[in-house]
Structure 1
Amino acid sequence: MTADGHLSATPDVTDVVDVVDVVDVVALGESMVTFLPTRPGRLADVPSFDRGIGGAESNVACALGAFGHSARWVSRVGADGFGQHLVETVGRYGVDVSHVGRDTARPTGVYFRTAGDRGTDGHEVAYYRAGSAASAMSPGTVDLAAVRAGRVLHLSGITAALSGDCLDLLRVLTAPAAGRPLVSFDVNHRPGLWPDPAAARVLLGLARRADLVFVGEDEAEQAWGTGGGPGAVRAALPEPRLLVVKQGSGGATVFARGDGDLDGTRPVFQPAPAVDVVATVGAGDAFAAGFLSGTLRGLPLRDRLRHGHLMAAATLTVPGDLAAPPTRSHADRLAALDDGAWGRLRLGPGWTDAARAPEEANTP
């Protein structure tokens, strides 16, 4: 990564791996088979479910693969039908899945959820992931060369919560090292998954070793007691070169530590467009994918945030974790709107249809 926050045209990682193996992004983490109810109601009452997939890191890889980037997902799945379904489905997004291990002794994780928003009291999620194949990831059970063979390595705090071995793996991957790829870390603080009071400190330590960090303003307040808005989050996390503080439907702010226009004293805020929300699950992962895409392409910080918002809007307007992104040209046209037109943008289900002109997606 250069001093101005852009990725080098020839990544330093080529010093330690064969250049032909380098991809734009490597995402490491657990994905699970998800079961979504075919009708509203309590899990106790729903008679049938539709099968999908979900996982923070694989969601990012799938979104980037569908958007035209080279992406690799590294994980472990059980030697079962669910694991095969995960690998085949992620692969259909154009993602390299050749480094996903199969574990004959542990199952693939699954979960069931109701159709509502995770933030509502009525929302239910039932996880069956304890002892999963992915929880056995460690420095000795994954191909570290394949993991490091990307311009960007994307990780999340969810992996750290799966097991002590997984936490050891993240500590190895975030350790300072010559030729390390740009390390992107989505905090993803999940108290229900990792109730240990020490979890927040562990996540803070991992975030401080990353180059690019994504965290929600409310998430940082809950984990670290930041308060005081995005500036207080930056005060708690001064080390990352790029820090993106997500502010819900209001927008997001990026802080950059570098030279010139990326001087850390001048954070960049971009409001999110109005969205007719169908479901919020997976929107944060899509936002990360959009921002990473803009980073890989060397776009200005404003446009990186806008691409994050647009990717998130694609996921917000579908019921599952994954959505077809807009075409790159469509997203670029929307991201280039002037501030007034961007502020009038309203996106609803179906807006990513490649045949739709940007004006048709814009409701003044």
Structure 2
Amino acid sequence: MKAATVGDNCMDVYLSRQESYPGGNPVNVAVYLKRLGADASYIGWVGTDDYGGQMRRALRDKGIDVSHLHQQEGQTAVTYVELIGSDRQFGDYHEGVMEHFRLTEADLRFIEGHALVHAGIWGHAEPYFPRFKEKGLITSFDFSDKLHHDLTRQLPAFMDYAFFSYTQDDAYIRSYLKETHALGARVAVATLGENGSLAYDGERYFRREAEAVTVVDTMGAGDSFIAGFLYGIMNGLPLTQCLEQGTRSAAQTITYFGAW
């Protein structure tokens, strides 16, 4: 089963270390899915600068299909990052060529050759999800911590798996996941940082605690969880085991520096 990830990419630039790492939710999810054993493709835009070349090389080296990673005149997206202890703090973000991202008909047909498609809230891919759903793809979307964004009301009707970032298991997030399911999502999932994860499938809630590991850098933890969860879905596992796969994947990612 093949997975396509679509939309935003960026170079995560650690100013204090003068180092840069490829990132962005769809990019990270593709790499983590490949790490788990899935075939993964990434569809997006990079600029004509050095960062664009670095992004393409890094993804190709990880075995990601980049045949629909397009180079556009301009700058690759950049996020400036600082580490406070082991926790990353995002600074300025420059969207670069991704500001005007769109999919061509050839891109859409390529994506439709996959079983699953995933995108995130910053990736400008949301207009295409009604078509993906109509074509029968498994659809997944990361809304991050933007629980009040307009898309959280508009997109669940076209989502099999809707992901959110929150802080704890409380009445608010349980009600929120239940409402997201009522809007059309097959399963609504919240990652809760050190407090684990929570999912709702319309009948019951599923809770999973985080694994205790030595944290080096939290960059990519949520994306890694999503990849682990989706890999479980791609292999027909029940939700409890999908949450377990996501938790294990995230725990691995936070034990080293950078997303991957």
Structure 1 residue 24 displacement after superposition = 1.6
Partners in 2 of 1:93 and 1:181 — Cα distance?
A: 24
Structure 1 residue 174 displacement after superposition = 3.3
Pick aligned residue for 2:143 from 187, 193, 196: 187
Q: 5+ unaligned residues in a row in structure 2: which ranges?
A: none
1:17-70 CA distances to partner (integer Å, 9 max, x unpaired)? xxxxxx521000221122224xxxxxxxx4x51221111110000011122110
| 1:35 pairs with 2:13 | yes
| 1:232 pairs with 2:175 | yes
Per the alignment, residue 330 of structure 1 pairs with none
Which TM-score applies when normalising by structure 2? 0.89
Per the alignment, residue 312 of structure 1 pairs with 250
Per the alignment, residue 55 of structure 2 pairs with 86
1:169-198 CA distances to partner (integer Å, 9 max, x unpaired)? 41222357532301101112459xxxxxxx
Task: Work out the number of aligned pairs and report it.
Answer: 258
Structure 1 residue 284 displacement after superposition = 0.3
The answer to whether the 8 Å contact 1:171/1:206 transfers is: no
Partners in 2 of 1:157 and 1:55 — Cα distance?
A: 11
The answer to whether the 8 Å contact 1:272/1:306 transfers is: no
Per the alignment, residue 198 of structure 2 pairs with 253
Per the alignment, residue 127 of structure 2 pairs with 171
Partners in 2 of 1:124 and 1:153 — Cα distance?
A: 26
Per the alignment, residue 116 of structure 1 pairs with 84
Question: Higher strand fraction: Structure 1 or Structure 2?
Answer: 2
Rg: which structure is higher? 1
Q: Percent identity?
A: 24
Matches within 5 A, 1:200-215: 200-215=149-164
Change (3 A) 1:157 1:318: same
Partners in 2 of 1:101 and 1:233 — Cα distance?
A: 37
The answer to whether the 8 Å contact 1:33/1:52 transfers is: yes
Per the alignment, residue 268 of structure 1 pairs with 206
Matches within 5 A, 1:95-174: 95-104=64-73, 106-116=74-84, 123=89, 125-129=91-95, 132-140=96-104, 143-159=107-123, 166=124, 169-174=125-130
The answer to whether the 8 Å contact 2:112/2:135 transfers is: no
The answer to whether the 8 Å contact 2:178/2:188 transfers is: no
Counterpart code for 1:228 = A
SS in 2 for 1:158: coil
1:305-338 CA distances to partner (integer Å, 9 max, x unpaired)? 011001111111112112xxxxxxxxxxxxxxxx
Partners in 2 of 1:88 and 1:154 — Cα distance?
A: 22
SS in 1 for 2:228: helix
Which TM-score applies when normalising by structure 1? 0.65
SS in 1 for 2:83: coil
| 1:67 pairs with 2:36 | yes
